[in-house]
Structures are given as C-alpha cells and as structure tokens.
Amino acid sequence: MPAFGSGMSNEPLPQKDLSRYARQISYAPLGEAGQKKLSQSRALVVGVGALGSVIANTLARAGVGNLRIVDRDFLELNNLQRQVMYTEQDVASGIPKAIAAKNHLEQINSEINIEAIVSHVNHQNLPQLLDGVDVIVDGTDNFEVRFLLNDAALKYQIPWIYGGCIGAEGQTMTVVPGVTPCLRCLMHDTPPPGTTPTCDTAGIVSPIINVIASLESMEAIKILSGNVAQIDRKLRVIDLWSNRMRELGLDSLQANTDCPACGKQQYDWLEGDRCSQTAVLCGRNAVQLSFPEQESVDFSRLAEKLHEIGKVESNRFLLRLFVENYILSIFSDGRAIISGTNDETEARSVYARYIGN
C-alpha cells in the first residue's frame, strides 16, 4: 500500500498488557477475548471533524489496535464548538485535522498504531485506504462520500457505519454486506442541492455529535470484537432538543433486489460516474476544488510565485495565500480550499486568477 501518511502496519500487534482496559474487559459480553480481538483489529475513520474526532478518540481509548484516520481539511476556530479533540493551539498551528488528531491520539494511547492521511476520499484512493481494514466508520459531512463508502463496503465486503447530524438531530445505521440493507436501500440517491438543511442554514449543537458518534463507536466495537450478531439493525433518529428518539425497522428492505448497489451490484460512485470535483464545505463559506490528475505541489516554488501577491504561510502539509477577501489553502496533493465564498464558479475563478488554470 502506498505511504499516504505515517504508516499503519499490516503486521498484527504483539500482545500487550491489557490492564488499562480492565473496566471494559469486566463487561461480560466483551470480556478478555473480545478485547484481544479489538487489539488486533483495523478501523478506517473517514473524516475526523465533529463525528470523526469523537469516534477516533473512543476507538483509541477502547484499544482498537490499528486506526487509519483520513481527513481533507484543516482546523478553524469555529470547529472547536463541536470538534472536541482539538484545542486553540491546534488551530493556531495551521496543521491539518488528521495530523492534529494523530498527535492527540498518540498521547491518549501510545500502544496502538495510528496512521494519519491528509486527503480527500475519492473513488481513486478509497480502495487503497481500505487495505486490511475490518470496519469503516463515517465521520463525514456529505452524502457523496457516504454513497462512495457504501459502494466500497459492498464491493469489498467490509461492514460500515453511517452517521450524520444537523441542528440537534442525528441519525445512524449499520451496514453489514449480505446481512443488512445498505444505504441505497434507504435512499436511492443523494438529496438534490438545496432540499436538505445544512450546517449553514440549520446550525448544529455539540451534544448531538457526541451521542451519534458514541452510537457509531459502539457498533464498531461490536463488529471488531467479534460480536456482529449484536449490531443495531434499525435506523436510529434522535432529536435532543425536542426529546424524541425514533427507530425505523429495515426488515422490509432486507430482500430489496431492486437496490442498485446491493441488489444489482451497480457501484456508480466507486466507479467514478457520480463523483464531482468540487465540494461546498458545510458551515465554512468555503469551496474545495480537486484536480485528480495534478502532480504534487512544490510549496517552495509556489510560495516564491505568490509572495508578492499577498501574505503567504506554509508548513509541510499545506500553503495558504491571504489575498483580497479570500484565503486559498493549497495541499500537497493539488487540492485547494477557497475560503471566502460558497459559490463554486467564484471559487474556480479565484483559483485560476492566483494559482493558474
């Protein structure tokens, strides 16, 4: 597997002293056997923002032996309201979320392997990200990536756990290929733009993040400890503001042979047919632009080109240009986040003006 970040070995971890997990082992349904399975397991957490930072924190503390965390973004001050792993110092450092998360997780549990990858998950790199993985946990904030994860989970027969939050409401469901319905059984397509609330329009409160992330983490622990039979087979919907908890039984979808994904094995997102090259970032007034064919960026050369245009800051992960009312953040893989607009056309125009076509 290519070296996306600091490596997660495919070799099993040596058996370590399990005394730090004593209270967890004392829970009879898990026990020492389940804890040992956790220590040899591998989880992929996609997105380490609000949901993902809680999930990664929980799985690291639970002793999941190998964590691969991937995130495309960097930290901003308004993240701290709900992204509970991070600090003001992380924001000031300008490092990507994945790297900041790895730094914290290594202080939480130094006995596990943690691989941090700064990247946008897409149909090209996801198969490699899944190498050796036993479960996929959703910490994302958009449906395009979730449908991509759903496709990949089905094709490669890897369980995955969906979760999402907006306002004070969150929902989650667990997908085990061949055992439960998949996300496309529930939703045949991504919601059309403008038809669902976003962080910008509805806001979000932190407690719902912690609740949904904890449910996702528990499902991952069940799967990784060898207790797949105990997974939740319902869609859970929780609204903490109105004190409502609902569940939707999925049994009627179990034999859904009309599902394009699990019924007909049509993986539109994984094959790249449905993937876009732009993404409006929720709650950020920012647009991400992706250039899959672009080679890696030479930050030194780019900084020399831009330093007379505006203020330039850089580290080994990204370069930022502050110009007019915009901040252009350029990553080593060629991606760019244009802050100061949520209009895709404007973002592309700003990029072309200062970085090039």
pLDDT tens-place string over residues 72-93: 999 999 999 999 999 999 999 9
The answer to whether residues 148 and 244 belong to one domain is: yes
Share of the chain above pLDDT 90, in %: 64
| Average pLDDT value for residue range 1-18 | 51
Residue 210's domain is classified under what CATH number?
3.40.50.720
What pLDDT is attached to residue 291? Answer: 77
The answer to whether residues 213 and 117 belong to one domain is: yes
The answer to whether residues 88 and 195 belong to one domain is: yes
The answer to whether residues 243 and 312 belong to one domain is: no
Element of type H or E holding 132:
none
What pLDDT is attached to residue 2? Answer: 34
Please determine, for residue 99, whether its predicted confidence score (pLDDT) is greater than 80.
yes
Asked if residue 273 belongs to a domain, the reply is no
| Average pLDDT value for residue range 220-224 | 98
Element of type H or E holding 71:
strand 66-71
pLDDT tens-place string over residues 21-34: 999 999 999 999 99
The answer to whether residues 120 and 67 belong to one domain is: yes
CB atoms within 10 A of CB 241: 11
Both tokens assigned to 19:
């005394």
Structural domain boundaries, residue 140 = 19-253
Which of 116, 77, 123 shows the shortest CA–CA distance to 99? 116
| Single residue among 220, 253, 286 that ends a domain in this structure | 253
What pLDDT is attached to residue 233? Answer: 94
Please determine, for residue 1, whether its predicted confidence score (pLDDT) is greater than 60.
no
Give residue 4's pLDDT band: very low, low, confident or very high (50, 70, 90). very low
Asked if residue 323 belongs to a domain, the reply is yes
pLDDT tens-place string over residues 255-265: 667 899 998 99
The answer to whether residues 223 and 348 belong to one domain is: no
- Alpha helix stretches (DSSP H) within the chain: 22-25, 31-39, 50-62, 88-93, 97-108, 126-129, 143-156, 183-186, 199-202, 206-224, 299-306, 344-354
The answer to whether residues 293 and 238 belong to one domain is: no
| Single residue among 253, 270, 292 that ends a domain in this structure | 253
What pLDDT is attached to residue 267? Answer: 95
pLDDT tens-place string over residues 181-218: 999 998 888 876 666 777 767 889 999 999 999 999 99
Is residue 202 within 8 A of residue 167, CB to CB? The reply is yes
Asked if residue 259 belongs to a domain, the reply is no
Asked if residue 65 belongs to a domain, the reply is yes
Residue 350: partners with Cβ closer than 8 Å, 6 or more residues away: 326, 328, 338, 340, 341
Is residue 320 within 8 A of residue 329, CB to CB? The reply is yes
- The pTM assigned to this predicted structure is 0.86
Which of 92, 9, 100 shows the shortest CA–CA distance to 56? 100
Asked if residue 333 belongs to a domain, the reply is yes
Both tokens assigned to 86:
């991070």
The least confident of 42-56, 94-108, 225-239, 279-293 is 279-293
| Pairing of β 169-175 and β 160-166 | antiparallel
Provide the number of structural domains found in the chain.
2
The answer to whether residues 127 and 44 belong to one domain is: yes
Residue 198: partners with Cβ closer than 8 Å, 6 or more residues away: 166, 282, 283
Task: Find how far residue 354's CA is from the centre of its chain.
Answer: 30
The answer to whether residues 214 and 109 belong to one domain is: yes
- What torsion do the CA atoms of 51, 56, 61, 63 make, to the nearest 10 degrees? 130
